[in-house]
Structure 1
Amino acid sequence: MKRIYYLLWIASLLPLAGQVQAQKKMGNETILVNDSITLDLPEVFVKAERPLLKVTDGRLQYDIPNLIKSKPVDNAFDVLGELPGVGRDGDRITLLGTSETTIILNGRKSSMTPEQLADLLKSTPSAKVKKVEVMYSTPPQYGVRGASINVIIENDRSLKEILKGEVSLTGTQGYYFSPTSRLNLSYTGKKYAADFSYSPGYRHGRSTEDMHAEPTMDNRKYDILQKNWSENKSIYHNLRGAFEYDFDNKDKLSASYTGRYEQDGPASLRGGQTEFVDIETVNTASRTTGPTTLHSARADYNGHQHLNAGIDYTFYKDKTLQELTNNFAADNDQNRRNESRQQSQQANLYLNHFTVAGNGWKISYGLEASLSRVVNKADALLDNEQESEGTFNLKQKEHSAGAFAGFSRSFGKKLMLDASLAVRYYKATVDSAGKKNTLWDKVDLFPTLSAVYRINPSNLLQFSLSSNRKYPSYWATTPNTFYMNAYSVIKGNQELKPELNYSMQLTYVIKNKYVVGAFANFQPDKIQQMSYQRPDRLQSVFHWINLDRHTMYGLMAVIPFRAGEVLSSRLTLMGAGIHDKGTLVDIAFDRKKLFGRAMLTNTIFLTRNKNLSLDVGGSYNSGIIQGVYDIDPLYSIDASLVWSLPKKNLRFTLKGSDLLNSHTPVTHIDEQGQKSRMELFQDMRSVSLTVRYSFGGYKEKKVKAVDTSRFGT
């Protein structure tokens, strides 16, 4: 404070001086007054930390460019893994404390499966992501319910017409080598924007499963040892194009196309050895091929009078051929041939509007409708003779319509409230050989609530309440039977019901940086896959079932901290309790478990200008339950080295994942005569190198995605 007063006193003398000369030096500032008075003053530094988090209308908004600065982030999917309070398991992104999290792009629902959406985000440069919004209770105008993460792609407009782009190459060495590449081009003008992206790649991975089962049949206990391996190969192409036009009245029209093509080229192989102890040993070899195609077109109109409307159409098709041979010890080979096909067409329409009434009331309302038609076919042959089990031809039709109304309002400077109620009618029918059956025919109500109380500019409380209904995939509700080996099969369940989900979160944000919270999730009819050892034959069947109850409740905290300009770290902690209750065929279970999770990330800046940084992180999950399963603790350590050359528009990222090869799930079942142990090796350990070159000051344009969350085998 004395330093500031001293500066003000010196400034008051300047008008009296006949000549003033200012001269800056390293470490001080010299002021010459009338060429006779010389005062050396130390520099005054004003240092502030830009907040990474702010809250707008109940949404937690993260400043992405500041969050990922000098981080090992090369694409939009990596950005999500850097968000505080987010857990990443493979291609699955979940907000800690929620049962499921939906990824949406630019405020509208994506229609891809989590795997397809992950591929899209991985082919999108991180520089395109302007900001990310986290919503524990998503308003219905976004087209989703429950928790969501809204990825906002920057929509830059310039007075000049500029071509921008980015090219990147990535080589990943896991058990095998997998190369990918990416090309992004964008052309922007004052009223329009167009962009194009193409990302081809080759995936080559390996996984293993070691199982020890002890089933009981006819009061006799058997011992079964199994070693399985699979080699998965695929060549894929991701293609995306989008066009936007801004009218003079500020209305906006956007259209986009998304395509994904997986070639019918390299076959995925699977093999294994099943030892029925003291009986016989069976060797299994399986070969699977088949192409997959996805086309999606979308158009959206955003009116300047708060009117939004859109329509999209999606066509999905896949064909899978599996040829499996079991070689028994008695030289009797068993040959299976399973050919399955799925073709789906889906159209969605939405219309939203909001108006601002007196006293700051914002009233929102809207309509939505969807129609889909799916054909599922499967032909199963056993030793060249048709097998009734696993052979079917189903035509499934679904249509739904819904409406919502809600309001939001700020009560003074402290309290903001956002609430809505949606009603939706859903009907699904299936036609099997001319016999029609109704799968679902019901009306649901979905309330949502978000309340934010701002204690002061840096501290706030948020309460969220949401509800949702999740429908199973198309294949899960068919009588499909997929043979994995001589002992294990996967079966669909035509009696599978949709699951409900009710979630509550209480979040306390401290200094716009630290986050602590409490949560509770209730899921009646939760959909879960579990294995069951049949009592009448030596066979393990993986069933899809509905639990009677699944609840999860707990606490979480996100604690960032720094050590000068060298180290930036973040610690994430979660503790929760789980309660699973249900019936697997004839096994009734009622189980509870406490578990915890910890994640620590550290970014070490190796140079003063921060163009070279090392990122080291680790995670630990304690033991957890999943229906009748017990899952052992898991841990992993990752590291990345990032070298940026801004003047040359180059960036190199060297990344190592699961360096200790420790992310290997081990599951146990020991419940009412069901006893087995399985260890999964998922080829998580890898080293990758990414080289990225950008030109024209590249930034991405707004892009819409697709919805295929229930497609595929």
Structure 2
Amino acid sequence: MKHLFNKLYVLHILLLAIATAGYAQTAKPGAKISGSIVDAQNKPVEYATIALIHAKDSSIVKGVLGNGQGAYVLERIPNGTYLIKVTAVGYNKGFSKAFTVTGADVRVPAITMPSSAKALNTVTISSTRPLIERKFDRLVMNVENSVLATGNTAMDILERAPGVSIDKDDNISLQGKNGVTVMINDKLTYLSATQLATMLRVTDGSNIASIEVITNPSAKYDASGNSGIINIKLKKNRDIGSSGSITVGTAYGRYWKDNESISLNHKQGRLNAFGTFSHNDNKNYRTLSISRVVDSVGKKTYFNQMTLMDKSNHNNNYRFGADYDISKKNSIGFIISGYNSSNDQNTPTTTYISKSENSRDSTLIASSITNQNSQNFAANINDRWQIDSLGQSLGIDLDYSKFTNNSDADYVNAIYLPDGTLKKPASYLRNQTPSTIDIRTAKADYAYPFTKTLKLEAGLKFSDVKTDNNLNAQIKDALGNYVNDATRTNYFIYQEKIDAGYLSLSKSYKKTSIQAGLRSEYTSSVGNLVTNSQVVARHYIDFFPSLFINHTLNKKNEIGFSYSRRIDRPSYDDLNPFVYYLDQYTYKQGNPFLNPQYTHSFELHYTWNSTINVNLNYSHTSDVITQIILTDAVKKATFQTDLNLDQQDAYGLNVNSPYTITKWWTGNLNFGSFYLDNKSAGLLGANLNSGKLSYNLKATQTFTMIKGYRIEIFSAYKSAISTGIYDVRPQYSTDAGISRSFANKKLNVKLSVNDIFNQRTNNVNSMYQSVNLQIVQKPESRITRLNITYNFGNTKIKARQHQTGADDEKNRAGGGN
């Protein structure tokens, strides 16, 4: 694998160097042709398409796009007789008179473009992309230019997508089910839940173009994700010429926040270069209250815990790259991206401990101070080759990503008696937890159309992921010195290699399209707990079939069916057996013995008039990876970990519909309902059988009653849900924003407020066997944001966009940019 990766890498570098040198050597001198395009009022026609054609046979010699002032320039033109042909949206075609090039530069007289517009009395017709679109295998939420996107993070925007929910620990679920795979620009992120949350919370929402919800992915995608894939599509400046944008913003909730970003793009000839950089400072807080009862040998102990979590984040993101067209059919490119994130968290906790509900025997005062630094570097080299005009193509992606995280934490635990004296000497603990994740992937995708209606797709992918986690733990001794704590110090290495291949065949009929695919993945993983020489090794091969059928009943009615089998491997965080403390009675611990979970997923969908989408789904998951809270009766501690439950059957209904009340009041309504039936034998000494019918409602409204202003209001309600041994209480909130453009739409000002009524909470109860707890969390959710964006350069004509190929792996690593 390593040798293949290196060989392909060198091959692509050589191709780029040879192509660049060849282009430079073959460029020939010639004349320059210039001119301008105007309308009937002699005003410039912006960004028209200019074609230089031979006067003799009308064959095209060269093409270029005019600029914002209607001017154009064609360079290195050989001698001959030519015409200029012009096309532009809203105008009929325009032509120049024939002219001859004899070596000297030529200035073509201004070409006047006759308008093709027809009067429609006083009716103005405009077209905007709907908020939610239904495509062959996915729902797409178009957030680009949304009033509520700018200034928010990717995590904030993601929660507004159809069927998506985010819990108190930033775990993402889709239609009530966990096991979501998150991709960015069609690439897996290979991050753990914690790392993924970090990455999404430092990604500026103004850089997002759309969010795709794929509940039943095809064989082309990695088989991970039992509830489906969420693909976040980032904006990529694709303007011909030079262009860019600058955004500055500020926000206030309980603390002040700021965000800044700059985006640049330049396209000329065969080269397209682009780059973005963003920075934000985000200080936030949340309150956490936990009430629990621990039963130890028939004796109950009551804990009432109150915690304030203050966190300061400082984040820098960058992304830059270039595409180079070696020929009309072959394009090579690279992308470099990454982030640097630092956060300081202070978590003071007060816990009242008693033997009965109405007494107080002692008080635990705990302090947790954490300083964390995270970095990510990712590089992609890609080649896209259109082999022929029939659609045969080959795409190759080579990716390397490295995540590093360094965390230092200090813990102080002191227990006081009711009279204020110490029950015993306070304990002082200290942790250093450096960790790295290295990801290497290589993939190739090939498409071959047998006919216009029959197409074969095939591909190979290799991934190699290694995580290295070290926990250096110290405790303060009687002399006041920190010494190694052998009971907590740990070292865990996890390596995983996946070799995958797929075949997919699609056939289109007059009203029906069918796609059938099969993917195979061979997984080899080794988890090594070095400290006690405990090794967990697994080697297995799986096959993942998929089937899609779409049928058009008539012009307004379309139905479809899909099936897929999928897998969820445990995230690297979940496998890591390290212990992370909130205080001595509350902590989190990974489970290196987790097994992957498998899901069979079925889906029926109906679309009316390309607007109203109805989706019915059913899935069966075995070995369900579930977050659970357990009790250590000896230590009287409560800790969170993950276990495999026997099975989960999920039934769901999702309805999405745009609506128009008046020409200035439009919106989108999304309703989702699901029932999760969880079963597991012998869980904490009993048989689990839990289920609850739940639903959520999301409504977006857009108002344009005042010329030049755009107002958006987003409201969401989630009913109570039962998942595993948890009961999550209802949640609801309302966001609103207003935007106004100036200076011919180059300057845009947006003001928004998240959770206007300050109602967003995360409340969880659990009453199962020995588990008896209630959790109440209130985040800093009411935040006012002001953002100003300035666009400059050519911002209208778009060029090619491409994607990369390693996002699948980064998802399970967890917390990037």
TM exceeding 0.5:
yes
Q: 1:313 to 1:182 in 2, by over 3 A?
A: same
1:668 alignment partner in structure 2: 765
Q: 1:341 to 1:445 in 2, by over 3 A?
A: same
Per-residue deviation, residues 29-50 of structure 1 (Å, max 9, x unmatched):
xxxxxxxxxxxx9948596977
Q: Residue in 2 aligned with 1:23?
A: none
Q: Is the 8 Å Cα contact of residues 213 and 677 (structure 1) preserved in structure 2?
A: yes
- Is contact 2:293-2:302 (8 Å) kept? yes
The answer (yes or no) to whether the contact 1:153–1:702 under 8 Å persists in 2 is: no
Corresponding residue for 2:705? 606
SS at match of 2:220: helix
Structure 2: distance between partners of 1:217 and 1:327: 22
Normalised TM-score (structure 1): 0.86
> What's the counterpart of residue 213 of structure 1?
292
Q: Which residue number in structure 2 is paired with residue 374 of structure 1?
A: 467
Residue 307 of structure 1 and its aligned partner are, at CA, apart by 0.8
Q: Deviations over 1:138-191 (max 9, x none)?
A: 233344656335555677767x6x221111012121221121110111111231
**CA distance in 1: counterparts of 2:553 and 2:372, whole angstroms:** 57
Cα contact 2:165–2:176 (8 A) shared by 1: no
Residue equivalent to 1:548: 646
Q: Matched residues in 2 for 1:603 and 1:42: separation? A: 25
For 2:452 and 2:327, the matched residues in 1 are separated by 30
Q: Is 2:709 the counterpart of 1:709?
A: no
Q: Distance in 1 between matches of 2:448 and 2:656?
A: 37
Amino acid at match of 1:272: T
One-letter amino acid matched to 1:308 = G
Deviation, structure 1 residue 643: 1.5
Query: What is the DSSP-based 3-state SS (H/G/I as helix, E as strand, rest coil) of the residue aligned with 1:398?
Result: strand
SS of the equivalent of 2:670 reads: strand
Does structure 1 residue 465 correspond to structure 2 residue 563? yes
Aligned to 1:315: 402
Task: Show the 5 A alignment for 1:336-347.
Answer: 336-347=429-440
Q: 1:693 aligns with which of 782, 790, 808?
A: 790
Aligned to 1:303: 385
Shift of 1:258: 0.8
The one of 315, 333, 341 aligned to 1:262: 341
Q: Which amino acid aligns with 1:696?
A: G
The counterpart of 2:371, out of the listed 289, 297, 300, is 289
Q: State which of 489, 496, 512 in structure 2 corresponds to 1:398.
A: 496
Q: Is the 8 A contact 1:80 1:93 kept in 2?
A: no
Cα distance, 1:690 vs structure 2: 1.0
Contact 1:123 1:199 in 2 (8 A): no
Determine whether 1:335 maps to 2:422: no
Distance 2:140 2:591 in 1: 41
Q: 1:86 touches 1:93 (CA, 8 Å); kept in 2?
A: no
1:148 aligned to 2:229? Answer: yes
Moved more, 291-300 or 598-607: 598-607
For 1:73, what is the secondary structure of its paired residue? coil
CA gap 1:110/1:214 in 2 versus in 1, 3 angstroms: closer
Alpha-carbon distance in structure 2 between the residues aligned to 1:169 and 1:502: 46
CA distance in 2, matches of 1:397, 1:538: 35
The structure-2 alpha-carbon separation of the partners of 1:394 and 1:103, relative to structure 1 and needing over 3 Å to count, comes to closer
Between the aligned partners of 1:359 and 1:650, the Cα distance in structure 2 is 45
Which letter does structure 2 place at the counterpart of 1:569?
Answer: G
| 1:498 equivalent in alignment to 2:596 | yes
What pairs up with 1:257-656 in 2 under 5 angstroms? Answer: 257-263=336-342, 267-277=344-354, 278-305=360-387, 306-329=393-416, 330-331=421-422, 332-358=425-451, 360-383=453-476, 384-411=482-509, 413-431=510-528, 432-433=530-531, 435=533, 437-582=535-680, 584-586=683-685, 588-608=687-707, 611-645=708-742, 647=744, 649-656=746-753
**Displacement of 1:55 after TM fit?**
6.2
Work out the CA distance in 2 between the residues paired with 1:572 and 1:46.
29
Deviation at 1:248, TM superposition (A): 1.6
2:317 corresponds to which letter in structure 1?
A: N
* Corresponding position: 1:239 with 2:318: yes
* Residues 20-31 of structure 1 mapped to structure 2, 5 A cutoff: none
Mapped to 1, the partners of 2:344 and 2:547 lie a distance apart of 49
Residue ranges of structure 2 left out of the alignment (5+ in a row): 1-118, 355-359, 388-392, 477-481
Sequence identity (%): 19
Equivalent pair of 1:446/1:468 in contact (CA under 8 Å): yes
Q: Using the alignment, how far apart are the partners of 1:173 and 1:292 within structure 2?
A: 25
2:197 counterpart SS class: helix
In 2 relative to 1, CA 164–310 (structure 1 residues): closer, same or farther, beyond 3 Å? same
Q: Does the CA-based 8 Å contact 2:251-2:786 persist in structure 1?
A: yes
CA distance in 1, matches of 2:237, 2:628: 48
| C-alpha distance after superposition, 1:405-424 (max 9, x if no partner) | 1100112x211011110111
* Shift, 1:102, TM fit: 3.8
Query: What amino acid does structure 2 have at the position aligned with 1:643?
Result: R
> Residue 638 of structure 2 aligns to which amino acid in structure 1?
S
Change (3 A) 1:414 1:78: farther
Secondary structure in 2 matching 1:303: strand
Q: Matched residues in 2 for 1:217 and 1:532: separation? A: 13
Contact 1:499/1:526 (8 A) holds in 2: yes
Contact in 1 for aligned 2:494/2:526 (Cα 8 Å) = yes
CA deviation map 1:320-348 (0-9, x unaligned): 11100012214321111122121121100
Find the aligned partners of 1:260 and 1:246 in 2 and give their Cα distance.
Answer: 29
One of 158, 167, 180 as aligned partner of 2:259: 180
* 1:480–1:250 CA distance, 2 compared to 1 (3 A): same
Q: Are the structure 2 counterparts of residues 470 and 613 from structure 1 closer, same or farther at C-alpha, using a change threshold of 3 Å?
A: same
How many Å apart are 1:232 and its aligned residue?
1.0
Query: Aligned with 1:497: secondary structure?
Result: coil
- Alignment TM-score, normalising by the size of structure 2: 0.75
CA RMSD of superposed structures (Å): 3.0
User: SS at the partner of 2:571?
Assistant: coil
> Residue 218 of structure 2 contacts residue 564 of structure 2 at CA under 8 Å; is this kept in 1?
no
Match of 1:85, as an amino acid? P
Find 2:779's aligned residue among 674, 678, 682.
682
Pairwise CA distance, 1:73: 3.5
Cα 1:640–1:82 change in 2 (3 A) is farther
87-96 vs 626-635, greater mean Cα deviation: 87-96
Q: Deviations over 1:67-93 (max 9, x none)?
A: 766743338949965987353548777
Q: 1:145 to 1:672 in 2, by over 3 A?
A: closer
- Equivalent of 1:168 in 234, 247, 259: 247
Q: Which residue of 2 aligns with 1:74?
A: 150
Question: In 1, distance between residues paired with 2:335 and 2:263?
Answer: 15
Distance in structure 1 (CA, Å) of the matches to 2:775 and 2:141: 42
Distance 1:299 1:356 in 2: 26
Q: Is the 8 A contact 1:97 1:519 kept in 2?
A: no
CA contact (8 A) 2:517 2:545 kept: yes
**CA 636–648 in structure 1, closer or farther in 2 if over 3 Å, else same:** closer
In 1: Cα distance, 2:155 partner to 2:409 partner: 34
Task: Give 5+ residue unaligned stretches, structure 1.
Answer: 1-40
The correspondence for 1:226, drawn from 302, 305, 312, is 305
CA distance in 1, matches of 2:147, 2:340: 31
* 2:160–2:698 contact (8 Å) kept in structure 1: no
Deviation at 1:506, TM superposition (A): 1.0
